[in-house]
A and B are shown apart, each in its own frame.
Chain A
Amino acid sequence: MELATHIATVKTLTDRAIKNFDTIYLGDPTCPKFPGNISSGNDLDRAVDRVKKLGKKCYLSLYAVPRTDDFKWMETLIEKAEKLPIDGFEVHNMGLLRLIKSKDIHAGLFINLYTKQTADLLKQFGTSRVFPNPELALEEIDIIKKSVQITMPINGNIPLGISDHCFFIDELKMEGSCETLCRTPKWLKQDEWQLGNIGRAPISGYELCMAEYMSDLLKSNYQFFYIYSFRRDEVYLETASSIYRDLIEGKIDEIYAVRELSMLAKFGLCNGYFFKQSGYKYISKRNKEAI
């Protein structure tokens, strides 16, 4: 069993934040301008060194929606990273696949993986593990899993898409530095649902929570789990990851885990799209109704 998450900067790459994780995706793939973003090459050596000293795996997460001009700096970054003791790259863009020469590739969620055919294609280009598109139902992911290893998201605010321009600066014309504007999500509310924006990506207001279904996932032989953590702090990362660790090791039960995880969620919990429903709903395994 493996537990993974993203850490955007060296500043947030604390022992406390990552102690319960086995694999760290270094950087925030949604925006190269996010201050200190390891995805843009900031403090990459230090970040790799820190993760490796703790005996964990690390993958450099590459910017998800590069335009033609972005490939210049990204190519240089990839060349540099290939010389470091990273385990591989997380790639969200098909155009980047051929640039990676000697390291493992994990396909990130923005690569838009919906089908087994695409999983097979990605394998041909050196991808060993894929992140299914968040819209996929569990039964579809089960089919794709026959082709390639799956990174299974189990908790956190689900990214709902991506843009290559900033919601705050380019659209709302907000003033201020990225440091200030992007420190926390801006929350939006419409009728019964909430969502947030982290600059170039909207995220769900309700947090994905699969604690009730962990035993089913393990029985189905899922091994690589992931917690969404864009703009979350070390307290969240430490708490959420330790709850899942304890749950998997049988130290706590599912009801307790869900209760604890709901306390971390600003607006409440959801199951995402796993059960062929609207992404914001939560279906309890026991009650089969929203809680």
Chain B
Amino acid sequence: MGYKYCIIVKYYYYLSMRENKSLEIVSPICSVEDIKVLENYSDGFYFGMAGFSHSSKSFEIDKREIEGLRKATSKKLYCAFNRMPYTADEELLLKNIASVSELVDAVIIQDAGLINSAARLLPVHLSVGVSVISYQEAVFYKNIGASRVIVPPSVMPDEIAAISSVLDVEVFVSGNLCRALQMGKCWWDSYERKSSAKRFGVCSKPCKHITGLTVMGDDLEFIKAMISSGAKSLKVAGRGDIKEVAENCKRIGGIIAWN
């Protein structure tokens, strides 16, 4: 009885903490249906803009669908424009960002120049592909208008504390995280095949076949360390299986409650 009571107290503590927005869980979605599944477990949702995100076409959504998302939830919506565009498409990308600026809470971008331009329109989060691993880089991006950074999995908790003194920090706590090279500073994939991971979104992870360096990042100790690091937001990865994402969000919510 006492154990169950303890869990209940912790759960309500966790809910109150989320209410205070001290620690946010964000999860991936592709539709209004996904929001219905995740509404109770997430504080925010991220998704890829059709033609401009770092995910495959089947997981991207267009402006009309984003309007639907906005109507379906009052929670945070983060729209990823994190594909490296072709130089000829830079203006088009900025036009698309402008077109959703009233619908979303922030955009996620990888290219420094585009971050600088988009930050004049709405809050900008640095994609993990920017590969910010130091306080000093965070200062640079703060100065050009960024408000949050999604850090690569190689960044240690004490480094997150330093970076979070400049920008809000978001960390991956679930998903297949690449640690072979600095995330975003790798073009190994397109050496092997024609399509670039940075241009077309999906990496074939050639490093995995040769070095076995791609690792899962969702073990308990790792998540606990991230929770206590000073990060503002915990990011759950895993597009495709929304039930699994929901399970991960629930599990991470539970871990937050116990820490």
Contacts and interface: CB of A to CB of B under 8 A. Distances in A.
Interface of A: 65-68, 70-71, 93-98, 110, 112, 114-122, 133-136, 140, 143-144, 158, 160-165, 167, 171, 188, 190, 193, 195, 202, 204, 273, 276-280
B219 to A, nearest CB: 19
Given A136-B87, A163-B181, 13 more contacts: A65-B133, A66-B134, A67-B159, A95-B137, A112-B184, A114-B84, A114-B198, A122-B112, A140-B86, A164-B133, A193-B191, A277-B194, A278-B193
Interface string B118-135: 000000000000010111
A278 B140 contact: no
Interface stretch (B12-20, B57-65, B203-211, B249-257): B203-211
Contact of B187 (A117, A118, A133, A190): A133
A93 B141 CA distance: 12
Contacts of A163: 180-182
Interface of B: 84-88, 90, 111-114, 116-117, 131, 133-141, 144, 154, 159, 162-163, 180-182, 184-188, 190-194, 196, 198-199, 206, 209-211, 213
A116 to B, nearest CB: 5
B94 to A, nearest CB: 8
Given A95-B134, A95-B136, A133-B187, A164 B154 contact: yes
Contacts of B163: 68
A68 B133 CA distance: 7
Given A71-B134, A95-B140, A279 B85 contact: no
B256 to A, nearest CB: 26
A117 B192 contact: no
Contacts of A279: 187, 190-192
A135 B199 contact: yes
Given A67-B134, A116-B87, A117-B113, A160 B140 contact: no
A160 B191 contact: yes
13 contacts: A65-B131, A67-B133, A67-B159, A68-B134, A96-B136, A98-B136, A112-B185, A116-B90, A134-B187, A135-B198, A143-B87, A190-B206, A279-B192
Contacts of A93: 134, 137
A147 to B, nearest CB: 10
A121 B135 contact: no
A144 B111 CA distance: 14
B137 A273 contact: no
Contacts of A193: 191-192
A114 B159 contact: no
Nearest to B163: A68
Contact of A278 (B136, B186, B191, B199): B191
Given A162-B181, A162-B185, A202-B181, A115 B111 contact: yes
A70 B209 contact: no
B209 A71 contact: no
Contacts of B186: 160-162
A161 B137 contact: no
Contacts of B209: 190
Contacts of B196: 135, 273
A200 to B, nearest CB: 9
Contacts of B90: 115-117
B86 A273 contact: no
A160 B111 contact: no
A167 B191 CA distance: 19
Nearest to A137: B86
B194 A278 contact: yes
Contacts of B162: 68
A117 B191 CA distance: 25
Contacts of B136: 66, 68, 71, 95-96, 98
Nearest to B213: A171
Contacts of B187: 133-135, 160-161, 273, 279
A39 B253 CA distance: 45
A164 B151 CA distance: 14
A94 B192 contact: no
B182 A119 contact: no
A280 B199 CA distance: 17
Given A94-B141, A95-B137, A115-B111, A160 B182 contact: no
A280 B206 CA distance: 14
A98 B182 contact: no
Given A114-B111, A114-B198, A204-B191, A171 B211 contact: yes
A144 B211 contact: no
A115 B182 contact: no
